Amino acid sequence: MKLLLLGLGNPGEKFSDTRHNIGHNFVDYIANRYNAPFHNSDGFSISKLRLSSTDTMLLKSLNFMNLNGSGLTNLLNKHLLSADTFMLVHDEVNLPFGRAKLSQNKSAGGHNGVRSVIENLGYSPLRLRIGVDSPALTVSTLSKYVLSKFSNDEQDALIYLFPKLLHSLKLLITRGISFASNYTNRYPIPDPSC
């Protein structure tokens, strides 16, 4: 089995460390941890590494969020076999900060990056949804909120969350979706050493 993980986000330094870019941040975290630099090809930044003895490809679209699915079908046709797993990782305003969920066959739920992927693929893939919270906001202020930077306290909290989400990916590879979901969807997510 091979794992392909697309972290949703916007390109450029302006958007780094914003709530909407948590998908980019998470795949960057994995790439840095495994010393696996990104290179650009076919409209994506791509990093390759071995995760739990499994070939893993980390992806970030070079397009803005609303077009994150553009070119994805061609890329997956080139790299994904029927036994392989493709997954999205993205921000989720309908989950409190610090929570995460593995989900399958869900609608885009108003997330334009997810909608772009679903429209390009023709189906809703496996998703790791990372909560960024959403105070009672209107549609216009919600768009500003997801493009705002994480606070220092939130940045510190992500340092502890990301290793747990990486463990979730390892469980997905070694134990399957049901076992990984049982771990990931709990709150608080247990420490990987427990």
20 is catalytic: yes
Which pLDDT score, from 0 to 100, does residue 175 have? 96
Which pLDDT score, from 0 to 100, does residue 134 have? 80
Tokens of 49: 């590494």
Which pLDDT score, from 0 to 100, does residue 1 have? 86
Among the listed residues 36, 35, 16, 13, the one whose alpha carbon sits nearest the alpha carbon of residue 25: 16
Q: Which helix (H) or strand (E) covers residue 5, if one does?
A: strand 3-7
Which pLDDT score, from 0 to 100, does residue 143 have? 86
Which pLDDT score, from 0 to 100, does residue 141 have? 86
Q: Are 146 and 113 in contact (CB under 8 A)?
A: no
The model's pTM is: 0.96
Question: Which residue type, as a one-letter code, is found at position 8?
Answer: L
Which pLDDT score, from 0 to 100, does residue 194 have? 57
What's the CA gap between 136 and 73, in Å, rounded? Answer: 36
User: Could you list the pLDDT tens digit for every one of the 194 residues in the chain?
Assistant: 899 999 999 999 999 999 999 999 999 999 999 999 999 999 999 999 999 999 999 999 999 999 999 999 999 999 999 889 999 999 999 999 999 999 999 999 889 999 999 999 999 999 999 999 987 767 678 889 999 999 999 999 999 999 999 999 999 999 999 999 999 999 999 998 75
Tokens of 112: 């334009």
Which of 20, 24, 90, 111 is flagged as catalytic?
20
Return the beta strands (E) in 35-139 as ranges: 39-41, 44-51, 54-61, 85-92, 100-103, 126-131
Q: Are 59 and 44 in contact (CB under 8 A)?
A: yes
Tokens of 1: 């089995």
CATH topology for the 3-184 domain? Rossmann fold (3.40.50)
Tokens of 22: 């948590």
What's the CA gap between 52 and 173, in Å, rounded? Answer: 7
Q: Where are the domains of the chain?
A: 3-184
